[in-house]
Amino acid sequence: MPEDNKKNVIKLVGVAVIVLLAYVVLTMPDRRTPSERVGDAISELPNGADKAVRQLEKRTPGEKLGDAVQDAGEEIKRSTDEN
């Protein structure tokens, strides 16, 4: 097997492992106890009731990441609309 093909196979396997690990991490179940979720909700209250309520739900890290991206987009839109 030529050297270039070996490097390409190694790169492909590396990318596959990274994708698999990302999938596993982003779909992990929420293992917080109910009291931890309530505590997180209380600490999130200054940022708005809707964000505090989200903390009470069981959500995967992927869902939390999606919420963070959505919140950032809304914040950018709000700040550009003011100018």
- For residue 24, what is the enclosing H or E element? helix 3-26
Residue 4 has what pLDDT? 83
- What is the per-residue pLDDT across 35-80, written as a single tens digit (0 to 9) for each? 999 999 999 999 889 889 999 999 999 999 999 999 899 989 989 9
Residue 47 has what pLDDT? 87
As a whole number, mean pLDDT of residues 27-42 equals 93
Structure tokens at 39: 């505590």
Residue ranges of domains in the chain: 3-82
Q: Which residues contact 23 (CB under 8 A, 6 or more apart)?
A: none
Residue 83 has what pLDDT? 59
pTM of the model: 0.68
